[in-house]
Amino acid sequence: MPASGHDAITIRPSILYFGTPVALITTLDERGAANITPMSSVWALDDRLVLGLSGQSQGCANLLRSGEAVVNLPDPPLHAAIERIARTTGRAPVPDFKRAMGYRHEADKFTLGGFTRAAAQVVAPPRIAECPLQLEARLLHARGATPGPADHAHDPGFIVIELAVVRVHAHPDIVLDGTQHVDTARWSPLLYVFRHYFGTGERRGRNFRAET
């Protein structure tokens, strides 16, 4: 049969990151040291967030222990700062599968990435001042996801985490004057698309419930 424009072929991509916003999760360890976990498996529903985090990450351990985090949402210009901390973990010793991928331990990702701490109001972990949106959040539920293949290149298991957002901070320049609304002409999330960074383009339309 001849191929039409709507035919699809089967492929086996190494990852399925089809495009989700990057979030920088800030957490505190048991000694009160702040960590930053770059991640992109996050989505929001009302005031809830669902995160997918490696059970081997320091950020996940901190969040499950303390029950608190700030979900900081960077904009596209921050991609280079994020890459500066990308190949590091707050965990020591570094898990074997990560060491094999070239990760190293880093106790102070704020300094390494050039990020600035800002005190949160409700939870203990700091906000990242450079991120235009910062969501303070508390842990509601966590459950282990089905483990993947445990070899040198794969994470042995992920945790699905539900958070309640308890306070939202926004840079004033992305808020519509005199409203509680984010100005979508000025705010762009940083998207992670098959391990490449993108911003958003022109608005293509609006939902019937959009208030602005």
Q: Which of 26, 57, 72, 134 binds ligand FMN (CB under 6 A)?
A: 57
Q: Which of 38, 74, 126, 189 binds ligand FMN (CB under 6 A)?
A: 38
User: What is the rounded distance in angstroms from the CA atom of residue 176 to the CA atom of residue 46?
Assistant: 20
Task: Report phi then psi at 14, rounded to 5.
Answer: -70, -25
Should residue 26 be labelled a site residue for ligand FMN when binding is judged by CB under 6 A? no
Q: How far is the CB of 35 from ligand FMN (least distance, A)?
A: 5
Q: How many chain residues touch ligand FMN (CB under 6 A)? A: 20
User: What is the rounded distance in angstroms from the CA atom of residue 94 to the CA atom of residue 6?
Assistant: 46
What residues numbered 90-129 form the site for ligand FMN, per CB under 6 A? 90-91, 103
Q: How far is the CB of 120 from ligand FMN (least distance, A)?
A: 18
Should residue 89 be labelled a site residue for ligand FMN when binding is judged by CB under 6 A? yes
> Any bridge partners for residue 37, and if so which?
25
117 Cβ neighbours under 8 A, 6+ residues apart: 34, 110, 126, 127, 128, 129
CB 116 within 8 A of CB 129: yes
Q: Which of 21, 28, 35, 113 binds ligand FMN (CB under 6 A)?
A: 35
Should residue 73 be labelled a site residue for ligand FMN when binding is judged by CB under 6 A? no
- Please tell me whether the peptide bond between 74 and the residue prior to it is cis, using omega within 30 degrees of 0: no
What is the C-alpha radius of gyration for the chain, rounded to an integer number of angstroms?
18
Within its chain, how far is the Cα of 210 from the centroid? 25
Should residue 192 be labelled a site residue for ligand FMN when binding is judged by CB under 6 A? yes
List residues near ligand FMN by CB under 6 A: 22, 35, 37-41, 52-54, 57-59, 82, 86, 89-91, 103, 192
